[in-house]
């Protein structure tokens, strides 16, 4: 499926992500999870609903994730499944310019998340997630402090 995407399309997708996309990971408090937090990673593209046709055409190239129309007239294309995120990163990584550090950090987080055995490992994971605060432009990000 993704093998049929041309180099030009891959570079276009990377440029779109660099310009109008977001890469982030959240540690959401959730007591039903082993260490009290749900770890959720996302790659999201944004576009005004005025350009829905062109945006839908771009999304149809990817064939991962799902589209959502927000109440404010913005369309989001969200890739949130970890295996799909990794597929997408592998597809566009050679072409990404501005968000290379975020992609690298996201890969590390996804890899470490699979290996978490105990609270000490989980704290390492949370510390990696907190590094997104330094890479992304968000005033709402909260730093989590956990102790072993």
Domain coordinates of the chain in residue numbers?
2-133
Domain 2-133 has CATH 1.20.1290.10: no
Cβ neighbours around 114 below 10 Å, total = 8
- CB burial string 17-29: b at 16+ within 10 A, e below: bbeebbbbbebee
> Mind listing the pLDDT tens digit for each residue in 32-89?
998 999 999 999 999 988 878 888 888 888 889 999 999 998 999 999 999 999 999 9
Through-space distance between the first and last CA atoms of the chain, rounded to whole angstroms: 43
Q: Determine the Cα–Cα distance for residues 35 and 27; give it in Å rounded to an integer.
A: 11
> In the predicted model, what is the mean pLDDT of residues 10-33?
92
User: pTM to 2 decimals?
Assistant: 0.85
CA distance 121 to 118: 5
Q: With 80 as the cut, is the pLDDT of residue 93 above it?
A: yes
Handedness of CA 20, 25, 26, 30 (dihedral sign): positive
């Amino acid at each position: 499926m993704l093998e049929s995407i041309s180099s030009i399309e891959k570079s276009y997708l990377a440029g779109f992500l660099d310009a109008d996309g977001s890469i982030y990971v959240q540690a959401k408090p959730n007591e039903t999870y082993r260490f009290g937090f749900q770890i959720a990673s996302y790659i999201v593209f944004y576009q005004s609903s005025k350009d829905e046709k062109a945006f839908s055409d771009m999304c149809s190239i990817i064939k991962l994730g799902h589209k959502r129309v927000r109440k404010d007239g913005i369309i989001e294309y969200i890739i949130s499944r970890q295996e799909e995120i990794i597929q997408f990163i592998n597809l566009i990584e050679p072409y990404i310019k501005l968000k290379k550090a975020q992609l690298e950090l996201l890969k590390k987080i996804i890899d470490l998340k699979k290996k978490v055995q105990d609270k000490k490992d989980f704290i390492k994971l949370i510390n990696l997630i907190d590094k997104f605060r330094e890479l992304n432009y968000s005033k709402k990000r909260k730093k989590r402090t956990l102790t072993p």
